[in-house]
Amino acid sequence: QSSVLHKFKGVIFSTMSSEELLNSLDSFEAREDDVFLVSYPKSGTHWIAKIIENIPNARITLTPPIELGDISKFEELKTYCETRVIPTHLSYSMLPMNIKQKQCKIIYVIRNPKDIAVSFFHYYRDNPNLPSIETWHEFFELFLKGDVVYGSWFDHVLSWEEHKNAKNIFIISYEEMKKDPSKNIRKIATFLGLNMTDSEINQIVWKTSFTEMKNNTAKENCDPNHTICALTSNRNLVFRKGAVGDWINYFTSKQKRVFDELFTEKMKHSELAKHFGDYS
Ligand code: A3P
C-alpha cells in the first residue's frame, strides 16, 4: 500500500482524509436543510454539482467534501450561512449519524461500473494524490477486488440501494443525464423544492455540457475551496471524455466476462442493477 493511502474500517482512503476526521464523522452536526451529494468516485459528481450550483435563486453554497482534510473540517463547514450542498464519496454505513437522523436530502449519483472503472483508471494515473498504476490490466484487478479508494463499487452502491425508497433520497444516473439532461435537471430541482422555467433549464444544459465545463476549468481552478472530490483539488483531472460506453475500448472480452460474472453474483438482489443492464 502506498503512502498516499491508508485503510479505515477496512476501506482504502486517501491520506487527504485524515484518520482523525474519519474517526470523528459521527460528531458532525447536520442542519435540517443540508443537501448531500453522494457518489462513488467518477460517477459524475462534478457535473451534478455544477447543475445544482446553477439553479437560479437556490441560495445554496457548494462546500468541500465532508471527508476532505482534518478535524478542522467541521468548524469550517459551520461558517456557511446559506443552504449547504455537501459532496461526499462515503458509503451509507460511514455517513455521519446526524445526517440520517435529520433525514437530510441526499442525491446519490450512479454510473455504469465499467465506465467508472475506466474513468477511475485514468484518475489513478493522472492524479498525484493516488498511487501510480502501470497498466489497465493492473487497475482492473484492483477495481474488481475493491482495492481502490472508497472500496468496492458493489459494496458502495448496495449500501445506498437499501435506502433508495426513502423519500429524502433521490437517485440519479449518469446515463439518464446524458440521454435527457433537461428532464433530469428538472427532476433535481423539483427534489430540492425549486422551480425553473424552460429557458432557465436550457441555460443550465448549455452551461453544464461536457465541453463547456471542460473549457471553463482553467478559470475556475484558482479557487481551492471549490474542491468537490476529496481526491484532488485540480479540476483539470476531472474532465476526460464525458461519454457513455468508453469501457468498450479497454475491457478485453475476458475482462468483460469476468466482470459480468461478478456483477451478476453481487447484484443479484439489486433493482438498480437493471439500469446498468442497458450499458453493458
Ligand atoms: P470520464 O473519465 O469517463 O470522462 P466525478 O465528477 O464523479 O469525478 O466523475 C468524473 C467523470 O464525469 C469523468 O468521466 C468526467 O469526464 C465526467 N464528466 C464531468 N463533467 C461532465 C459533463 N458535464 N458531462 C458529461 N460527463 C462529465
Whose C-alpha lies nearest to ligand 1, atom 2? 119
Cβ of 33 below 6 Å from ligand 1: no
Cβ of 111 below 6 Å from ligand 1: no
Along the 280 residues of the chain, how does pLDDT read in single tens digits? 568 999 999 999 999 999 999 999 999 999 999 999 999 999 999 999 999 999 999 999 999 999 999 999 999 999 999 999 999 999 999 999 999 999 999 999 999 999 999 999 999 999 988 999 999 999 999 999 999 999 999 999 999 999 999 999 999 999 999 999 999 999 999 999 999 999 999 999 999 999 999 998 877 655 666 788 888 878 888 999 999 999 999 999 999 999 999 999 999 999 999 998 877 7
Question: Which atom of ligand 1 is the closest one to the Cα of 178?
Answer: 25
Distance (Å) from CA 84 to ligand 1 centroid: 22
Ligand 1 pocket test, pick from 239, 241, 248 with the greatest ligand atom count within 8 Å of Cβ, gives 239
Residue 122 falls in the annotated catalytic set: no
Predicted complex ipTM: 0.99
Could you say which of 6, 46, 89, 163 is catalytic? 89
DSSP collapsed to 3 states, the chain: CCCCEEEECCEEEECCECHHHHHCHHHCCCCCCCEEEEECCCCCHHHHHHHHHCCCCCCEEECCCCCCECCCHHHHHHCCCCEEEEEECCCHHHCCHHHHHCCCEEEEEECCHHHHHHHHHHHHHHCCCCCCCCCHHHHHHHHHHCCCECCCHHHHHHHHHCCCCCCCEEEEEHHHHHHCHHHHHHHHHHHCCCCCCHHHHHHHHHHCCHHHHHHHHHHHCCCHHHCCCCCCCCHHHCCCCCCCCHHHHCCCHHHHHHHHHHHHHHCCCCCHHHHHHCCC
pTM greater than the 0.95 cutoff: yes
Distance (Å) from CA 242 to ligand 1 centroid: 5
